[in-house]
Structure 1
Protein backbone atom coordinates (compact mmCIF):
# COMPACT_ATOMS: atom_id res chain seq x y z
CA UNK A 1 0.00 0.00 0.00
CA UNK A 2 1.18 3.60 -0.48
CA UNK A 3 2.80 5.56 2.30
CA UNK A 4 0.45 6.87 4.94
CA UNK A 5 1.15 9.73 7.28
CA UNK A 6 0.72 13.39 8.04
CA UNK A 7 2.98 16.14 9.32
CA UNK A 8 4.34 15.31 12.74
CA UNK A 9 3.87 11.55 12.61
CA UNK A 10 5.83 8.70 11.01
CA UNK A 11 5.35 7.83 7.37
CA UNK A 12 3.98 4.28 7.34
CA UNK A 13 4.09 1.74 4.53
CA UNK A 14 2.90 -1.84 4.33
CA UNK A 15 4.92 -3.53 1.60
CA UNK A 16 3.94 -6.94 0.27
CA UNK A 17 6.86 -9.35 -0.01
CA UNK A 18 6.65 -10.57 -3.60
CA UNK A 19 9.22 -13.31 -2.90
CA UNK A 20 7.46 -14.73 0.15
CA UNK A 21 3.71 -15.39 -0.21
CA UNK A 22 1.81 -14.11 2.80
CA UNK A 23 4.63 -11.81 3.94
CA UNK A 24 4.24 -8.08 4.54
CA UNK A 25 6.81 -5.57 5.77
CA UNK A 26 5.83 -2.66 8.00
CA UNK A 27 8.12 0.29 7.24
CA UNK A 28 8.09 3.52 9.27
CA UNK A 29 10.06 6.50 7.98
CA UNK A 30 12.06 4.17 5.70
CA UNK A 31 13.09 1.90 8.62
CA UNK A 32 11.96 -1.72 8.44
CA UNK A 33 9.94 -2.05 11.61
CA UNK A 34 8.09 -5.39 11.49
CA UNK A 35 7.57 -8.38 9.23
CA UNK A 36 4.32 -10.34 9.36
CA UNK A 37 3.48 -13.62 7.62
CA UNK A 38 -0.29 -14.02 7.77
CA UNK A 39 -0.12 -17.55 6.35
CA UNK A 40 2.52 -18.73 8.83
CA UNK A 41 2.93 -16.61 12.00
CA UNK A 42 5.82 -18.85 13.09
CA UNK A 43 7.92 -17.52 10.19
CA UNK A 44 10.20 -14.84 11.67
CA UNK A 45 12.11 -12.71 9.20
CA UNK A 46 14.07 -10.39 11.51
CA UNK A 47 17.02 -11.91 13.34
CA UNK A 48 16.28 -10.20 16.64
CA UNK A 49 12.77 -11.71 16.69
CA UNK A 50 14.38 -15.10 16.05
CA UNK A 51 16.54 -14.43 19.11
CA UNK A 52 13.40 -13.66 21.13
CA UNK A 53 11.94 -16.98 19.98
CA UNK A 54 15.15 -18.80 20.90
CA UNK A 55 15.03 -17.46 24.46
CA UNK A 56 11.34 -18.30 24.78
CA UNK A 57 12.06 -21.83 23.59
CA UNK A 58 14.13 -22.39 26.75
CA UNK A 59 11.00 -21.97 28.92
CA UNK A 60 8.71 -24.87 29.87
CA UNK A 61 5.97 -25.64 27.30
CA UNK A 62 2.47 -24.25 27.62
CA UNK A 63 0.72 -20.86 27.63
CA UNK A 64 2.54 -17.79 28.90
CA UNK A 65 1.12 -14.55 30.26
CA UNK A 66 3.04 -11.98 28.22
CA UNK A 67 3.10 -8.18 28.30
CA UNK A 68 4.59 -6.42 25.27
CA UNK A 69 5.90 -2.85 25.28
CA UNK A 70 5.63 -1.82 21.64
CA UNK A 71 3.24 -3.34 19.15
CA UNK A 72 4.23 -2.57 15.57
CA UNK A 73 2.94 -5.34 13.32
CA UNK A 74 2.30 -7.63 16.33
CA UNK A 75 4.80 -10.18 15.02
CA UNK A 76 5.76 -11.75 18.35
CA UNK A 77 2.19 -11.84 19.75
CA UNK A 78 1.10 -13.67 16.59
CA UNK A 79 4.02 -16.09 16.96
CA UNK A 80 3.15 -16.83 20.59
CA UNK A 81 -0.51 -17.29 19.71
CA UNK A 82 0.52 -19.95 17.19
CA UNK A 83 3.25 -21.66 19.27
CA UNK A 84 1.67 -21.38 22.71
CA UNK A 85 -2.11 -21.35 22.18
CA UNK A 86 -4.11 -19.86 25.00
CA UNK A 87 -1.43 -17.38 26.02
CA UNK A 88 -3.03 -14.18 27.38
CA UNK A 89 -1.12 -11.23 25.93
CA UNK A 90 -1.25 -7.51 26.62
CA UNK A 91 0.32 -5.02 24.21
CA UNK A 92 1.12 -1.40 25.04
CA UNK A 93 1.23 0.55 21.76
CA UNK A 94 0.63 4.31 22.10
CA UNK A 95 0.12 4.85 18.35
CA UNK A 96 -3.58 4.05 18.01
CA UNK A 97 -3.59 4.90 14.29
CA UNK A 98 -0.82 2.40 13.65
CA UNK A 99 -2.72 -0.27 15.55
CA UNK A 100 -5.89 0.48 13.56
CA UNK A 101 -3.97 0.16 10.28
CA UNK A 102 -2.28 -3.10 11.30
CA UNK A 103 -5.50 -4.68 12.53
CA UNK A 104 -7.38 -3.73 9.37
CA UNK A 105 -4.69 -4.73 6.86
CA UNK A 106 -3.03 -7.54 8.82
CA UNK A 107 -5.89 -8.98 10.90
CA UNK A 108 -5.29 -11.22 13.88
CA UNK A 109 -6.44 -14.83 13.72
CA UNK A 110 -9.68 -15.88 15.36
CA UNK A 111 -9.47 -17.05 18.94
CA UNK A 112 -6.54 -14.85 19.87
CA UNK A 113 -6.12 -13.56 23.42
CA UNK A 114 -4.24 -10.38 22.48
CA UNK A 115 -5.37 -7.08 24.00
CA UNK A 116 -3.91 -3.81 22.75
CA UNK A 117 -3.95 -0.66 24.86
CA UNK A 118 -3.09 2.81 23.44
CA UNK A 119 -0.69 3.81 26.22
CA UNK A 120 3.09 4.09 26.44
CA UNK A 121 5.05 1.32 28.06
CA UNK A 122 6.22 3.18 31.17
CA UNK A 123 2.70 4.24 32.15
CA UNK A 124 1.25 0.89 31.17
CA UNK A 125 3.64 -1.12 33.31
CA UNK A 126 3.17 1.24 36.27
CA UNK A 127 -0.57 0.48 36.23
CA UNK A 128 -0.14 -3.32 36.27
CA UNK A 129 -0.63 -5.47 39.35
CA UNK A 130 2.27 -7.28 40.94
CA UNK A 131 3.40 -10.72 39.74
CA UNK A 132 0.94 -10.93 36.85
CA UNK A 133 3.23 -11.69 33.89
CA UNK A 134 5.48 -14.59 32.97
CA UNK A 135 7.28 -12.55 30.32
CA UNK A 136 7.74 -8.83 29.70
CA UNK A 137 8.95 -7.90 26.20
CA UNK A 138 10.51 -4.50 25.50
CA UNK A 139 10.53 -3.73 21.78
CA UNK A 140 9.64 -0.05 21.50
CA UNK A 141 11.20 2.61 19.28
CA UNK A 142 10.61 6.27 18.52
CA UNK A 143 12.44 7.70 15.51
CA UNK A 144 14.60 4.59 15.42
CA UNK A 145 15.70 4.90 19.06
CA UNK A 146 14.68 3.12 22.27
CA UNK A 147 13.01 5.75 24.51
CA UNK A 148 15.18 6.80 27.45
CA UNK A 149 12.54 6.07 30.08
CA UNK A 150 12.38 2.38 29.18
CA UNK A 151 15.96 1.49 30.13
CA UNK A 152 16.42 3.13 33.53
CA UNK A 153 17.08 1.59 36.93
CA UNK A 154 13.68 2.78 38.12
CA UNK A 155 11.84 1.25 35.19
CA UNK A 156 13.55 -2.12 35.61
CA UNK A 157 12.61 -2.10 39.30
CA UNK A 158 8.97 -1.70 38.27
CA UNK A 159 9.35 -4.32 35.53
CA UNK A 160 10.60 -6.83 38.11
CA UNK A 161 7.56 -6.03 40.25
CA UNK A 162 5.05 -7.10 37.58
CA UNK A 163 6.86 -10.35 36.75
CA UNK A 164 6.10 -13.59 38.55
CA UNK A 165 8.94 -15.30 40.46
CA UNK A 166 11.39 -16.57 37.86
CA UNK A 167 9.71 -14.41 35.20
CA UNK A 168 11.60 -13.27 32.11
CA UNK A 169 12.31 -9.81 30.72
CA UNK A 170 13.31 -9.62 27.04
CA UNK A 171 14.59 -6.41 25.43
CA UNK A 172 15.46 -5.54 21.84
CA UNK A 173 18.03 -2.74 21.84
CA UNK A 174 20.47 -1.24 19.35
CA UNK A 175 23.97 0.02 19.92
CA UNK A 176 27.19 1.17 18.32
CA UNK A 177 30.43 -0.84 18.28
CA UNK A 178 31.67 -1.29 21.82
CA UNK A 179 28.13 -1.67 23.25
CA UNK A 180 28.60 1.09 25.83
CA UNK A 181 24.89 1.98 25.85
CA UNK A 182 23.96 -1.68 26.33
CA UNK A 183 26.50 -1.93 29.14
CA UNK A 184 24.65 0.73 31.11
CA UNK A 185 21.35 -1.02 30.45
CA UNK A 186 22.83 -4.26 31.79
CA UNK A 187 23.96 -2.39 34.92
CA UNK A 188 20.37 -1.32 35.55
CA UNK A 189 19.03 -4.83 34.97
CA UNK A 190 21.61 -6.34 37.31
CA UNK A 191 20.10 -4.42 40.24
CA UNK A 192 16.75 -6.24 39.89
CA UNK A 193 17.53 -9.51 38.11
CA UNK A 194 19.93 -12.24 39.20
CA UNK A 195 20.55 -13.78 35.78
CA UNK A 196 21.42 -11.95 32.55
CA UNK A 197 22.20 -13.01 29.00
CA UNK A 198 22.99 -11.11 25.80
CA UNK A 199 22.37 -12.37 22.25
CA UNK A 200 23.48 -10.75 19.01
CA UNK A 201 25.06 -11.42 15.66
CA UNK A 202 28.78 -12.12 15.67
CA UNK A 203 29.61 -8.96 13.74
CA UNK A 204 27.86 -6.84 16.41
CA UNK A 205 29.50 -8.79 19.24
CA UNK A 206 32.89 -8.24 17.59
CA UNK A 207 32.23 -4.48 17.30
CA UNK A 208 32.17 -4.50 13.52
CA UNK A 209 28.91 -2.61 13.10
CA UNK A 210 25.89 -0.89 14.63
CA UNK A 211 23.09 -3.38 15.24
CA UNK A 212 20.46 -5.11 17.33
CA UNK A 213 21.15 -6.71 20.71
CA UNK A 214 18.66 -8.85 22.63
CA UNK A 215 18.93 -8.96 26.43
CA UNK A 216 17.31 -11.58 28.65
CA UNK A 217 16.95 -11.08 32.40
CA UNK A 218 15.35 -13.18 35.12
CA UNK A 219 15.19 -13.47 38.89
CA UNK A 220 15.51 -17.23 38.40
CA UNK A 221 18.01 -19.33 36.46
CA UNK A 222 18.36 -18.91 32.70
CA UNK A 223 19.03 -22.10 30.73
CA UNK A 224 22.08 -20.68 28.99
CA UNK A 225 23.23 -24.06 27.66
CA UNK A 226 19.90 -24.58 25.89
CA UNK A 227 19.92 -20.98 24.68
CA UNK A 228 23.32 -21.54 23.08
CA UNK A 229 21.94 -24.63 21.33
CA UNK A 230 18.95 -22.65 20.07
CA UNK A 231 21.13 -19.77 18.82
CA UNK A 232 23.50 -22.20 17.07
CA UNK A 233 20.59 -23.13 14.80
CA UNK A 234 20.21 -19.58 13.52
CA UNK A 235 20.88 -19.12 9.78
CA UNK A 236 23.42 -16.31 10.41
CA UNK A 237 26.32 -16.50 12.89
CA UNK A 238 25.24 -15.31 16.33
CA UNK A 239 26.49 -15.67 19.87
CA UNK A 240 25.46 -15.63 23.53
CA UNK A 241 27.22 -13.80 26.36
CA UNK A 242 26.16 -14.57 29.94
CA UNK A 243 27.21 -14.96 33.56
CA UNK A 244 30.75 -13.98 34.59
CA UNK A 245 31.64 -12.93 31.05
CA UNK A 246 29.06 -10.14 31.17
CA UNK A 247 29.85 -9.24 34.76
CA UNK A 248 33.55 -8.80 34.03
CA UNK A 249 33.14 -6.91 30.78
CA UNK A 250 30.67 -4.36 32.16
CA UNK A 251 31.78 -4.28 35.82
CA UNK A 252 32.37 -0.51 35.77
CA UNK A 253 29.19 0.43 33.86
CA UNK A 254 26.76 2.75 35.64
CA UNK A 255 23.01 2.22 35.20
CA UNK A 256 20.85 4.74 33.44
CA UNK A 257 18.50 6.50 35.88
CA UNK A 258 15.48 8.74 35.49
CA UNK A 259 17.77 11.67 36.35
CA UNK A 260 20.48 10.57 33.92
CA UNK A 261 19.01 8.74 30.94
CA UNK A 262 19.38 8.67 27.20
CA UNK A 263 17.66 7.01 24.25
CA UNK A 264 19.65 4.43 22.34
CA UNK A 265 22.25 5.76 19.88
CA UNK A 266 21.08 7.39 16.66
CA UNK A 267 20.71 4.69 13.97
CA UNK A 268 23.11 4.75 11.07
CA UNK A 269 20.47 4.43 8.43
CA UNK A 270 22.91 3.90 5.61
CA UNK A 271 24.44 0.84 7.28
CA UNK A 272 21.90 -0.43 9.80
CA UNK A 273 20.55 -3.75 8.63
CA UNK A 274 17.63 -4.07 11.05
CA UNK A 275 16.72 -7.74 11.19
Structure 2
Protein backbone atom coordinates (compact mmCIF):
# COMPACT_ATOMS: atom_id res chain seq x y z
CA UNK A 1 0.00 0.00 0.00
CA UNK A 2 1.36 3.41 -0.87
CA UNK A 3 1.55 6.38 1.42
CA UNK A 4 3.23 9.63 0.47
CA UNK A 5 4.74 10.70 3.79
CA UNK A 6 7.41 13.36 3.25
CA UNK A 7 10.83 12.26 4.45
CA UNK A 8 12.24 15.76 4.88
CA UNK A 9 12.95 17.44 8.19
CA UNK A 10 13.81 14.24 10.04
CA UNK A 11 16.50 13.94 12.74
CA UNK A 12 20.01 14.88 11.66
CA UNK A 13 22.64 12.35 10.66
CA UNK A 14 24.55 10.62 13.48
CA UNK A 15 28.12 11.71 14.14
CA UNK A 16 29.26 8.32 12.81
CA UNK A 17 27.31 5.46 11.23
CA UNK A 18 26.81 2.42 13.46
CA UNK A 19 27.31 -0.96 11.77
CA UNK A 20 24.63 -3.45 12.67
CA UNK A 21 21.34 -5.11 11.80
CA UNK A 22 18.09 -3.15 11.72
CA UNK A 23 14.50 -4.29 11.08
CA UNK A 24 12.91 -2.63 8.04
CA UNK A 25 9.67 -3.10 6.14
CA UNK A 26 10.90 -5.78 3.74
CA UNK A 27 13.21 -7.72 6.07
CA UNK A 28 16.31 -7.05 8.14
CA UNK A 29 18.79 -4.48 6.89
CA UNK A 30 22.49 -4.72 7.63
CA UNK A 31 24.89 -1.79 7.56
CA UNK A 32 28.52 -2.75 6.96
CA UNK A 33 31.64 -0.60 6.64
CA UNK A 34 33.91 -1.20 3.65
CA UNK A 35 37.23 -2.25 5.12
CA UNK A 36 39.07 -0.80 2.10
CA UNK A 37 37.56 2.70 2.19
CA UNK A 38 37.60 5.25 4.97
CA UNK A 39 33.93 6.16 4.91
CA UNK A 40 32.13 3.80 2.56
CA UNK A 41 29.17 1.64 3.53
CA UNK A 42 27.20 -1.32 2.23
CA UNK A 43 23.47 -1.64 2.90
CA UNK A 44 21.87 -5.05 2.42
CA UNK A 45 18.40 -6.42 3.21
CA UNK A 46 18.07 -10.09 4.12
CA UNK A 47 21.54 -10.71 2.72
CA UNK A 48 20.85 -9.02 -0.62
CA UNK A 49 23.09 -6.03 -1.34
CA UNK A 50 20.98 -2.91 -1.90
CA UNK A 51 23.39 0.02 -1.96
CA UNK A 52 27.01 1.02 -1.64
CA UNK A 53 27.67 4.60 -0.57
CA UNK A 54 31.02 6.33 -0.27
CA UNK A 55 30.23 9.32 1.93
CA UNK A 56 33.57 10.94 1.07
CA UNK A 57 33.22 10.44 -2.68
CA UNK A 58 29.66 10.11 -4.08
CA UNK A 59 31.11 9.54 -7.56
CA UNK A 60 32.56 6.20 -6.42
CA UNK A 61 30.06 3.72 -7.84
CA UNK A 62 31.10 0.32 -6.56
CA UNK A 63 28.40 -1.88 -8.09
CA UNK A 64 29.00 -2.56 -11.78
CA UNK A 65 25.36 -2.10 -12.79
CA UNK A 66 25.20 1.23 -10.95
CA UNK A 67 28.33 2.31 -12.83
CA UNK A 68 26.54 1.42 -16.08
CA UNK A 69 23.64 3.68 -15.10
CA UNK A 70 26.15 6.38 -14.29
CA UNK A 71 27.77 5.93 -17.71
CA UNK A 72 24.48 6.74 -19.43
CA UNK A 73 23.77 9.69 -17.14
CA UNK A 74 27.25 11.05 -17.85
CA UNK A 75 26.52 11.17 -21.58
CA UNK A 76 23.15 12.89 -21.44
CA UNK A 77 23.09 16.56 -22.51
CA UNK A 78 25.12 18.71 -20.08
CA UNK A 79 23.62 20.64 -17.21
CA UNK A 80 21.40 19.97 -14.20
CA UNK A 81 18.61 17.41 -14.43
CA UNK A 82 15.12 17.06 -13.04
CA UNK A 83 15.39 13.42 -11.98
CA UNK A 84 12.89 10.97 -10.55
CA UNK A 85 14.11 7.80 -8.81
CA UNK A 86 11.87 4.79 -8.27
CA UNK A 87 13.63 3.00 -5.44
CA UNK A 88 16.23 4.74 -3.36
CA UNK A 89 17.75 2.61 -0.60
CA UNK A 90 20.88 4.57 0.40
CA UNK A 91 20.38 7.01 -2.52
CA UNK A 92 23.64 6.19 -4.28
CA UNK A 93 22.44 7.49 -7.64
CA UNK A 94 20.81 10.68 -6.34
CA UNK A 95 24.10 11.47 -4.56
CA UNK A 96 25.97 10.82 -7.82
CA UNK A 97 23.68 13.04 -9.89
CA UNK A 98 23.95 15.83 -7.30
CA UNK A 99 27.75 15.60 -7.38
CA UNK A 100 28.19 15.38 -11.14
CA UNK A 101 25.36 17.71 -12.18
CA UNK A 102 25.11 20.50 -9.60
CA UNK A 103 21.74 22.21 -9.49
CA UNK A 104 19.79 19.06 -10.30
CA UNK A 105 16.39 18.67 -8.65
CA UNK A 106 15.58 15.12 -7.59
CA UNK A 107 12.71 13.13 -6.12
CA UNK A 108 13.01 9.61 -4.72
CA UNK A 109 10.08 7.27 -4.12
CA UNK A 110 10.83 4.27 -1.92
CA UNK A 111 8.25 1.93 -0.41
CA UNK A 112 10.35 0.98 2.63
CA UNK A 113 9.88 3.81 5.10
CA UNK A 114 11.93 2.11 7.80
CA UNK A 115 14.86 1.76 5.41
CA UNK A 116 14.58 5.42 4.44
CA UNK A 117 14.72 6.42 8.11
CA UNK A 118 17.67 4.10 8.74
CA UNK A 119 19.61 5.66 5.87
CA UNK A 120 18.72 9.14 7.03
CA UNK A 121 19.85 8.46 10.59
CA UNK A 122 23.03 6.53 9.78
CA UNK A 123 24.24 7.79 6.39
CA UNK A 124 22.47 11.12 6.07
CA UNK A 125 20.31 12.42 3.25
CA UNK A 126 21.44 16.03 3.14
CA UNK A 127 21.76 16.07 -0.63
CA UNK A 128 21.06 19.40 -2.35
CA UNK A 129 17.58 19.66 -3.89
CA UNK A 130 16.67 16.07 -2.97
CA UNK A 131 13.26 15.06 -1.67
CA UNK A 132 12.55 11.51 -0.52
CA UNK A 133 9.00 10.22 -0.15
CA UNK A 134 7.76 6.92 1.21
CA UNK A 135 5.57 5.58 -1.58
CA UNK A 136 5.50 2.65 -3.96
CA UNK A 137 6.97 3.46 -7.33
CA UNK A 138 3.84 3.38 -9.43
CA UNK A 139 1.94 5.69 -7.10
CA UNK A 140 4.92 8.02 -6.99
CA UNK A 141 5.23 8.28 -10.76
CA UNK A 142 1.46 8.67 -11.11
CA UNK A 143 1.61 11.72 -8.83
CA UNK A 144 4.04 13.60 -11.08
CA UNK A 145 3.05 16.17 -13.69
CA UNK A 146 3.28 15.54 -17.43
CA UNK A 147 6.67 16.40 -18.99
CA UNK A 148 8.22 17.26 -15.62
CA UNK A 149 11.39 15.10 -15.64
CA UNK A 150 14.54 14.79 -17.72
CA UNK A 151 15.43 11.44 -16.22
CA UNK A 152 13.55 8.57 -14.57
CA UNK A 153 15.54 5.75 -12.97
CA UNK A 154 13.79 2.56 -11.81
CA UNK A 155 15.89 0.41 -9.46
CA UNK A 156 13.46 -1.00 -6.91
CA UNK A 157 13.70 -4.52 -5.57
CA UNK A 158 11.75 -6.36 -2.89
CA UNK A 159 13.01 -9.72 -1.59
CA UNK A 160 15.65 -9.76 -4.36
CA UNK A 161 13.01 -9.38 -7.11
CA UNK A 162 11.97 -6.38 -9.16
CA UNK A 163 9.19 -4.60 -7.30
CA UNK A 164 5.74 -5.50 -8.57
CA UNK A 165 4.22 -3.59 -11.46
CA UNK A 166 7.39 -1.83 -12.59
CA UNK A 167 7.87 -3.88 -15.76
CA UNK A 168 4.47 -3.43 -17.40
CA UNK A 169 3.55 -1.44 -20.47
CA UNK A 170 1.12 0.61 -18.40
CA UNK A 171 3.84 1.73 -15.98
CA UNK A 172 6.25 2.36 -18.85
CA UNK A 173 3.66 4.56 -20.56
CA UNK A 174 3.27 6.54 -17.33
CA UNK A 175 7.04 7.03 -17.19
CA UNK A 176 6.89 8.34 -20.77
CA UNK A 177 4.13 10.74 -19.73
CA UNK A 178 6.29 12.17 -16.96
CA UNK A 179 9.39 12.51 -19.13
CA UNK A 180 10.04 15.54 -21.27
CA UNK A 181 10.29 14.86 -25.03
CA UNK A 182 14.07 14.37 -24.87
CA UNK A 183 14.00 12.63 -21.48
CA UNK A 184 15.60 9.28 -20.68
CA UNK A 185 14.28 6.26 -18.82
CA UNK A 186 16.82 3.97 -17.11
CA UNK A 187 15.83 0.66 -15.53
CA UNK A 188 17.77 -2.05 -13.75
CA UNK A 189 16.40 -5.59 -13.94
CA UNK A 190 17.86 -9.04 -13.35
CA UNK A 191 17.53 -12.24 -15.33
CA UNK A 192 19.11 -15.63 -15.88
CA UNK A 193 19.71 -18.21 -18.63
CA UNK A 194 17.74 -17.56 -21.79
CA UNK A 195 16.84 -14.03 -20.61
CA UNK A 196 13.06 -14.64 -20.80
CA UNK A 197 12.20 -11.69 -18.57
CA UNK A 198 14.68 -9.33 -20.24
CA UNK A 199 13.30 -10.17 -23.68
CA UNK A 200 9.79 -9.29 -22.58
CA UNK A 201 11.03 -6.14 -20.85
CA UNK A 202 12.72 -5.10 -24.09
CA UNK A 203 9.46 -5.69 -25.97
CA UNK A 204 7.61 -3.59 -23.41
CA UNK A 205 10.01 -0.67 -23.84
CA UNK A 206 9.79 -0.94 -27.63
CA UNK A 207 6.03 -0.47 -27.47
CA UNK A 208 6.48 2.93 -25.77
CA UNK A 209 9.91 4.28 -26.75
CA UNK A 210 11.42 4.27 -30.29
CA UNK A 211 15.01 4.21 -29.02
CA UNK A 212 16.59 1.85 -26.48
CA UNK A 213 19.86 0.25 -25.48
CA UNK A 214 20.87 -2.54 -23.13
CA UNK A 215 24.01 -2.82 -20.99
CA UNK A 216 25.14 -6.08 -19.40
CA UNK A 217 28.19 -8.20 -18.81
CA UNK A 218 28.91 -10.60 -21.70
CA UNK A 219 28.31 -13.68 -19.54
CA UNK A 220 24.86 -12.43 -18.57
CA UNK A 221 23.96 -11.64 -22.20
CA UNK A 222 25.08 -15.12 -23.24
CA UNK A 223 22.87 -16.65 -20.58
CA UNK A 224 25.77 -18.18 -18.71
CA UNK A 225 24.87 -16.65 -15.37
CA UNK A 226 22.23 -14.66 -13.54
CA UNK A 227 22.91 -10.94 -13.39
CA UNK A 228 21.89 -7.33 -13.84
CA UNK A 229 20.77 -5.78 -17.11
CA UNK A 230 20.45 -2.01 -17.47
CA UNK A 231 18.06 -0.64 -20.08
CA UNK A 232 17.90 2.93 -21.34
CA UNK A 233 15.01 4.20 -23.46
CA UNK A 234 14.01 7.53 -24.96
CA UNK A 235 11.93 9.21 -27.66
CA UNK A 236 15.16 10.67 -29.03
CA UNK A 237 18.49 9.15 -30.06
CA UNK A 238 20.56 7.79 -27.19
CA UNK A 239 24.35 8.27 -26.90
CA UNK A 240 25.03 4.72 -28.06
CA UNK A 241 28.53 5.35 -29.46
CA UNK A 242 29.77 7.15 -26.36
CA UNK A 243 28.23 4.67 -23.92
CA UNK A 244 29.60 1.73 -25.91
CA UNK A 245 33.12 3.15 -25.73
CA UNK A 246 32.85 3.92 -22.01
CA UNK A 247 31.52 0.50 -21.00
CA UNK A 248 33.94 -1.40 -23.23
CA UNK A 249 36.90 0.28 -21.54
CA UNK A 250 35.62 -0.30 -18.01
CA UNK A 251 37.67 -2.45 -15.60
CA UNK A 252 34.72 -4.86 -15.78
CA UNK A 253 33.59 -4.41 -19.39
CA UNK A 254 29.95 -4.56 -20.40
CA UNK A 255 28.36 -4.91 -23.80
CA UNK A 256 26.03 -2.29 -25.24
CA UNK A 257 23.24 -3.72 -27.40
CA UNK A 258 20.97 -1.47 -29.47
CA UNK A 259 19.23 -1.23 -32.83
CA UNK A 260 19.13 -4.50 -34.75
CA UNK A 261 20.93 -6.30 -31.93
CA UNK A 262 18.27 -5.39 -29.43
CA UNK A 263 15.48 -6.26 -31.86
CA UNK A 264 17.11 -9.66 -32.38
CA UNK A 265 17.39 -10.20 -28.65
CA UNK A 266 13.72 -9.52 -27.97
CA UNK A 267 12.66 -11.65 -30.94
CA UNK A 268 8.96 -12.49 -30.71
CA UNK A 269 8.67 -11.66 -27.04
CA UNK A 270 5.45 -9.90 -26.07
CA UNK A 271 5.10 -6.84 -23.82
CA UNK A 272 4.27 -7.31 -20.15
CA UNK A 273 0.84 -5.97 -19.16
CA UNK A 274 -1.02 -5.32 -15.94
CA UNK A 275 -3.69 -7.89 -16.73
CA UNK A 276 -1.06 -10.58 -17.38
CA UNK A 277 2.07 -9.61 -15.42
CA UNK A 278 5.29 -11.58 -15.77
CA UNK A 279 6.89 -12.84 -12.59
CA UNK A 280 10.23 -11.15 -12.10
CA UNK A 281 12.95 -13.78 -11.56
CA UNK A 282 14.67 -14.25 -8.21
CA UNK A 283 18.42 -14.89 -8.17
CA UNK A 284 19.76 -18.32 -7.24
CA UNK A 285 20.83 -18.70 -3.64
CA UNK A 286 24.53 -18.81 -4.54
CA UNK A 287 24.48 -15.29 -6.01
CA UNK A 288 22.05 -13.57 -3.64
CA UNK A 289 24.74 -11.52 -1.96
CA UNK A 290 25.70 -9.89 -5.26
CA UNK A 291 22.41 -8.09 -5.83
TM-score, normalised to structure 2, is 0.91
Task: Tell whether the 8 Å contact from 1:211 to 1:272 is kept in structure 2 after alignment.
Answer: no
* Residue aligning to 1:264: 280
Aligned-residue offset at 1:54: 0.6
2:144 is aligned with 1:106:
no
Partner of 2:61: 44
How far off its partner does 1:34 sit?
A: 0.4
Aligned to 2:229: 213
Which of the numbers 99, 119, 124 marks the counterpart of 2:140? 124
SS at match of 2:212: strand
Report the alpha carbon displacement of residue 135 of structure 1 after superposing the two structures with TM. Answer: 0.4
Question: 1:109 deviation in Å?
Answer: 4.2
> 3-state SS of the aligned residue for 1:4?
strand
* CA gap 1:114/1:65 in 2 versus in 1, 3 angstroms: same
State how far apart, in whole Å, the 2-side matches of 1:105 and 1:147 are.
25
Does 2:206 align with 1:190? yes
Residue pair 2:26, 2:112 contacting (<8 A) in 1 also: no
Q: Deviations over 1:108-137 (max 9, x none)?
A: 346x11100111010111111100000000
Q: How do residues 117-266 of structure 1 correspond to structure 2 at under 5 angstroms? A: 117-266=133-282
Find the aligned partners of 2:93 and 2:26 in 1 and give their Cα distance: 24
Find the aligned partners of 1:54 and 1:149 in 2 and give their Cα distance: 26
For the structure 1 residues 273 and 213, does the alpha-carbon distance in structure 2 shift closer, same or farther, using more than 3 Å as the test? farther
- Once the two structures are TM-superposed, the CA of residue 67 in structure 1 deviates from its matched residue by 0.1
CA RMSD of aligned residues (A): 1.3
Structure 2 unmatched runs, 5+: 1-18
Q: CA deviation at 1:214?
A: 0.2
Distance 2:137 2:112 in 1: 11
Find the counterpart in structure 2 of residue 76 from structure 1.
93
Task: Provide the residue aligned with 2:22 in structure 1.
Answer: 4
3-state DSSP class of the match of 2:285? coil
Residue 19 of structure 1 and its aligned partner are, at CA, apart by: 1.3
Shift of 1:148: 3.2
CA distance in 1 between counterparts of 2:203 and 2:101 reads: 32
Q: How many residue pairs are counted as aligned between the two chains?
A: 273
**What does the per-residue CA deviation read over 1:118-175, in whole Å, with 9 as the maximum and x for residues that have no partner?**
1101011111110000000000001000023110011111110000001100001000
In the alignment, structure 1 segments of 5+ residues that lack a partner are none
Q: TM-score of the superposition, structure 1-length normalised?
A: 0.96
Tell me if the contact between 1:52 and 1:214 (Cα under 8 Å) persists in the aligned partners.
yes
C-alpha contact 1:178 1:207 (8 A) present in aligned 2: yes
1:272 positional shift: 4.6
